[in-house]
Amino acid sequence: MKKKEAVKMIKRYLNGTNSAQERHWVEGFFLEYLKKSPYQAPISNFRRVQQEMDEAIAQNTGIPIHSLKHTPFYKQPWFRQLSVAAAFILGGIAIYFINNTLFQPTNNTPSHADLILRGHYKASLQMANGQQIALKPDKRSLLIDACGIHYDDGSTIRSNDYPDHTGRMLSISTPRGGQYNVVLADGSRVRLNAGSTLRFPAAFTGSKRDVKLSGEAYFQVNGGEEDKGKNSFVVHTRGQDIRVLGTAFNVSAYREDGEIRTTLLKGAVQVIAGNSLLLHPGEQAILSEKGTLTKHAVSDTDALAWSDGYFDFMGKNAAQILNELARWYDLQVVYKGKVPNIAFVGKLRRNMPVSHILALMASYHVFLQVEGHQLIVP
C-alpha cells in the first residue's frame, strides 16, 4: 500500500468514517507495534497527543493541519469504552506509527506467537464400539439420519446397516483449536466450540431426547413448545439439566471456567440445578461453583460471539479470557504470577494471529509470553 493511501486510511479511522476492513487494517498495525515494543509511558494531555498526531500526518502527506477536520480521538465514542491505560497506549502508538513505523522496511521473520495456528473445523466421532473416526477438516457439518452418518455434502461416513442402531450412543468431540457442526437424528442443529464433547443417540426413541454436553455449544432444537412435553429435549451438563421448551440457546460448561452459563435466544428453557429457573429470550442462567443458580439479562449477540467468529471480552476477567484463548489457539495457560483483576470490553475476530491478541492484552497491562504451546503469565 502506498504511503498516501495509508495515511488517508488513518484519517478515516480518526474521523470514524472507515470501513470495517480498514479499521482492522489500522488496528492491526497498532497492535503489531505494541507487540514488538509496548508503549508504557503515560500521556496525560490528550489534546497534545491529538496535535502531535495531526502534525505527524501533515508532515507525511503535506496536507495542512487546518484541513484535518475530524473529531479528536479523545472525544470519540469508542474512547470512553477503553481503559485509561489502553487509551494512553493508543495515542502513543498512533504517533509512533505515523512518524516512524508505518512506512519503514519490515522484518518478515515471524515471531513464535505468529506461528501459533488459530482454530478451524476439526473434530472426531466416537462410535458405540469405541472406534474413533477423525472427521475431515474440509467438511464443516456432520449429519445423523435414518440412513446413517454423513457429511453435509452427502458423502457417507457410516451407514445404518447394522442391527439395533437406534440404541447406539455416539460422541462428537472438538479438540482445543477446533469447532464443528452436527445435525442430530431429530433435525436439531448443534455447533460445538473448541474443547467440547456432545454425547447423543444415533436415533431418538420414546418420549425424551437426551444429550450430554461438556464444553460449549449452541443449540437450535427441532420441535419444542408445540410438542407439549411429549418429546422433550434435555441437555445434561456438569451439575445441571436444561429442559428445552423452545429452540435456540447457548450453553457454556467448561470445567476450567467454574461456572456454567445458559443463554436463551428464542423460545424458553428450564434450567434445573437443585432449584429451577425458567428463561425467556435475552436471559442467562449462571450456575456458580458453589451451586447457586441465578438469572440475568444479557445480549444474545455477546453470548453467540464465538459462533459468529468473534471473541467477546465484555464483562469477562483476565482468567476467563485466557482460558478462552487457550482453547481456541490450543495453548496451555501457565501461571507464574497473578493476573490483574480488571474487566475487558470489546470484540475481536477469532481469525486474528495470537500475537495481535497478546498485544491487545498488553494494552491492559496484562503482559503474556508464548513458549512452545504454553501461554505464560509471568
Query: What is the distance between the alpha carbons of residues 45 and 62, in angstroms, rounded to a whole number?
Result: 25
Query: What is the distance between the alpha carbons of residues 115 and 21, in angstroms, rounded to a whole number?
Result: 23
Quick check: 1 pLDDT over 60? no
- Tell me phi and psi for residue 65, to 5 degrees: -60, -40
Residue 189: predicted pLDDT: 95
CA distances, 169 to each of 82, 173, 184, 307 (Å): 48, 13, 12, 26
Q: Which domains does the chain have, with CATH numbers?
A: 3-109 (no CATH), 120-303 (2.60.120.1440), 310-377 (3.55.50.30)
Residue at grid coordinates 445423523 = 144
The four Cα atoms 343, 348, 351, 354 give a dihedral, to 10 degrees, of -40
Residue 166: predicted pLDDT: 58
226 vs 313: which has the higher pLDDT: 313
Q: What is the pLDDT of residues 133-192, one digit of tens each?
A: 999 888 889 999 888 899 988 888 877 654 445 568 999 999 999 999 999 999 999 999
CA-based radius of gyration for the chain = 24
Sign of the dihedral through C-alpha 36, 41, 42, 45 = negative
Q: Which of 59-73, 142-156, 223-237 has the highest mean pLDDT?
A: 142-156
Quick check: 244 pLDDT over 80? yes
Residue 100: predicted pLDDT: 42
Give me the amino acid identity at 75.
K
Predicted confidence band of residue 339 (pLDDT cuts 50, 70, 90): confident
Residue 191: predicted pLDDT: 96
Contact 58, 68 (CB under 8 A): yes
Average pLDDT value over all residues in the chain: 75
CA distances, 153 to each of 6, 134, 143 (Å): 42, 17, 10
